[in-house]
Structure 1
Amino acid sequence: MPSGSCWCGKLQYEFSGEPVGKATCHCLTCRKITGSAFSLNAIFPKDAVKVSSGTHKTFTKAHENGMVITITFCPECATTIYKEADEVAFKDKVILQTGTLNVALDSLGPEAELWVQHRPEWMPELADTVQKQEF
């Protein structure tokens, strides 16, 4: 079963199947969560992702559009593993941080680029992706 982990390796997870969505997000919330100019996400059904070892913590806060985001992260190294949101589009799904996967990322390139109004001017539009102002 494919897997992923946090930076220190204490929090590990497994997943099955293919993502139902793959996107790069430039929203301010994702920028703060990742500490980067964007996040790279693979969206899976919630029951396809299982924590296999370690403990985790969660933190919940409102997104700039008003929905509520909960991040699940390692309490040791603070790596965010996935996000959940109360918006209908994300019901029963987890938004995995693609960089935490232990598999090659070649097949996980984004299909969409979200919140493009926040994309830095120095970053070009990603080829062959749907460009969206929000989710």
Structure 2
Amino acid sequence: MTVALRGHVTSMFQCSCLHCQKTSGGGHSSVILVPTEALLSTGTTKSYSRPADSGATFTRHFCPECSTTVYAKSSRAPSLCIVPVGLLAGQNNWFDPSQLIFAVTQPAWDLVHEVLPRHDAYRVDETR
């Protein structure tokens, strides 16, 4: 499987929801949002859907060979893909998160920079 991104990143943030903690194996996930058409992948993925706390359906798409999450989608924002920035390891030094969401479940041992704005859930004024 190969993955490429084209175009501009819509948003960069970190998420400390319990699902992201389980997926990342740490206290948060670092992700980017890109328009769906900006994500180019070859090969097939498997997916897992679950209800999100927001009422949306959240679907992770992962490699069937190694189980790496390739991208995720929320029914809240169907025109966007959520891509783990770690997928771009070695080529992601441009990552500059603008916020931490679900800070209410961030573990005390997870050291996220203190100047990063924190929100206890999704921000009300945006779809990301």
Aligning the two structures, in what range does the TM-score lie when normalised by the shorter sequence?
0.7 to 0.9
Gaps of 5+ in 1: 1-10
- Aligned equivalent of 2:104: 117
User: Sequence identity of aligned pairs in percent?
Assistant: 24
- Aligned equivalent of 1:45: 35
- TM-score normalized by structure 2? 0.86
**SS at structure 1 position matched to 2:104:** helix
C-alpha distance in 1 between matches for 2:114 and 2:23: 25
- Give the CA deviation at 1:24: 0.6
Task: Quote the RMSD (CA, aligned, Å).
Answer: 1.6
What are the equivalent positions in structure 2 for 1:1-135 lying under 5 Å apart?
Answer: 11-51=1-41, 53-87=42-76, 90-135=77-122
Amino acid at match of 1:25: C
C-alpha distance in 2 between matches for 1:131 and 1:69: 22
- Give the CA deviation at 1:32: 2.3
Q: Which moved more, 1:117-126 or 1:70-79?
A: 117-126
- Give the CA deviation at 1:125: 4.2
Gaps of 5+ in 2: 123-128
Amino acid at match of 1:83: A
Distance 1:18 1:103, change over 3 A: farther
Work out whether residues 113 and 126 of structure 1, in 8 Å CA contact, stay in contact via their aligned partners in 2.
no
C-alpha distance in 1 between matches for 2:90 and 2:9: 13
C-alpha distance in 2 between matches for 1:97 and 1:57: 16
- Give the CA deviation at 1:103: 4.8
**SS at structure 2 position matched to 1:19:** coil
For these two proteins, the number of residue pairs brought into alignment is: 122
Work out whether residues 37 and 119 of structure 1, in 8 Å CA contact, stay in contact via their aligned partners in 2.
yes
